[in-house]
């Protein structure tokens, strides 16, 4: 077993929304690794960051990704920072990985610099978002089989582009 598609990208790219649409269109199940981590920890991701720190969250995330890659057949959405793990990037090499790319301005608009996103809270969330994009962009591209720029597309058109990209 393995997922048909693994979806990655920064906050605000539309990973969950597009993954759910893609799964529905393909008639396969959807799974979100962030939800798996919340279930494993028994608390929200923002609380994991606050109580246990980012390293603890990343360890749980890496474990959850490994498990989901083996167990899940369908569309799997990863958290935005899952690609930071070299182990996870290696595991993704055997899968069709969709990178939903979003520019800084659109990503900031979509996330609303939400306090529910622990890495975007702080003194200068715009600068934090830019640094996050700069650091992760090469990693997303390293694992990507398909890349879709989502800035000017609604979720349905992004889903169309993913399916067309897979057929190409």
pLDDT tens across 6-22, in order? 999 998 889 999 999 99
126 is in an annotated binding site: no
Tell me the whole-structure pTM to 2 decimals: 0.88
What CATH number is associated with residue 78? 3.40.50.300
31 is in an annotated binding site: no
How many structural domains compose the chain? 1
59 is in an annotated binding site: no
15 is in an annotated binding site: yes
How far, rounded to the nearest angstrom, does the alpha carbon of residue 140 sit from its chain's CA centroid? 10
pLDDT band at residue 152 under the 50/70/90 scheme: confident
67 is in an annotated binding site: no
Give the contacts of 25 (CB within 8 A, at least 6 positions apart). 159, 163
12 is in an annotated binding site: yes
Beta bridge partners of 30: 75
17 is in an annotated binding site: yes
The percentage of residues in the chain with a pLDDT greater than 70, rounded to a whole number, is 84
Token pair recorded at residue 63: 């474990």
pLDDT tens column, 120-138: 555 666 777 788 888 999 9
122 is in an annotated binding site: no
80 is in an annotated binding site: yes
Average pLDDT, the chain: 88
Domain interval for residue 63: 5-167
* Spatial distance between the Cα atoms of 83 and 81, rounded to a whole number of angstroms: 5
Residue with tokens 């749980």, as numbered in its chain: 60
State the burial class of residue 107 (Cβ atoms within 10 Å of its Cβ: 0-12, 13-18, 19+): buried
């Amino acid at each position: 077993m393995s997922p048909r598609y693994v979806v990655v990208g920064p906050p605000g790219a539309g990973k969950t929304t597009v993954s759910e649409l893609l799964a529905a269109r393909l008639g396969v199940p959807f799974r979100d690794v962030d939800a798996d981590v919340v279930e494993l920890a028994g608390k929200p991701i923002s609380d994991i960051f606050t109580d246990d720190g980012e390293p603890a969250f990343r360890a749980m995330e890496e474990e959850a990704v490994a498990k989901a890659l083996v167990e899940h057949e369908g569309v799997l959405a990863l958290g935005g920072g899952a690609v930071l793990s070299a182990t996870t990037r290696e595991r993704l090499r055997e899968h069709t990985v969709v990178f939903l790319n979003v520019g800084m301005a659109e990503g900031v608009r979509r996330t609303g610099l939400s306090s529910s996103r622990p890495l975007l809270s702080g003194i200068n969330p715009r600068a934090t978002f830019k640094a996050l994009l700069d650091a992760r962009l090469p990693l997303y591209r390293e694992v990507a089989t398909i890349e879709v720029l989502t800035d000017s597309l609604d979720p349905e058109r992004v889903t169309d582009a993913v399916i067309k990209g897979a057929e190409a």
